[in-house]
């Protein structure tokens, strides 16, 4: 197959059939809580939505898909102290912090989980969810106006 030729078609929850390449697959070395049997995912981007939001689609269960937000878009002050042991397991390279979004029917009430971020080493294609020792909220408002009123 050519360098840019997709080599796998996957079924997704939100986008139907999607073509991916094998190098797009990310392995969770510490699975997402409650989804310990699912370790293979792919990050999907929707061109009509900001690149600061992604869909984390399970390859092992097409109905499991998480919406993630780039932590920098949620709060510039969010700089968690990531455990060194876990960072060593991810390997050398830049780590990106993503936050699981919980959407509400009223989007302004949507939240993110600051306590248990997803850490991605893009170069190594490894990821993990960690529970931070710091006192961060599990439900932190995604939309700024909600945070201002607190």
What percent of the chain is predicted at pLDDT more than 90? 71
User: Tell me: the pLDDT tens digits for 136-148?
Assistant: 999 999 887 544 4
pLDDT, one tens digit per residue, over 51-94 is: 889 999 999 999 999 999 999 888 888 999 999 998 899 999 89
Contact 132/117 with Cβ under 8 angstroms? yes
Q: Is the dihedral of CA 103, 106, 107, 112 positive or negative?
A: negative
Cβ-proximal residues to 42 (8 Å cutoff; 6+ apart), any chain? 10, 18, 20, 24, 25, 26, 56, 57, 59
150 vs 64, residue with greater confidence: 64
What is this structure's pTM? 0.87
CB-based contact 92:118 (threshold 8 Å)? no
Res 149: pLDDT: 43
| N-to-C CA span, the chain | 54
């Amino acid at each position: 197959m050519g360098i840019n030729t997709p080599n796998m078609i996957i079924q997704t929850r939100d986008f139907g059939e999607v073509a991916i390449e094998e190098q797009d697959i990310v392995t969770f070395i510490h699975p997402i809580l409650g989804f310990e049997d699912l370790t293979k995912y792919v990050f999907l981007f929707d061109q009509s939505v900001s690149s600061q939001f992604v869909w984390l689609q399970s390859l092992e269960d097409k109905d499991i898909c998480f919406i993630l937000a780039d932590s920098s878009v949620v709060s510039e002050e969010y700089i968690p102290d990531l455990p060194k042991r876990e960072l060593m397991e991810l390997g050398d390279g830049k780590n990106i912090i993503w936050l699981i979004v919980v959407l509400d029917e009223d989007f302004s009430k949507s939240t993110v989980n600051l306590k248990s971020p997803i850490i991605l080493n893009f170069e190594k294609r490894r990821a993990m969810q960690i529970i931070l020792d710091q006192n961060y909220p599990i439900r932190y408002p995604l939309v700024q106006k909600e945070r201002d009123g607190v």
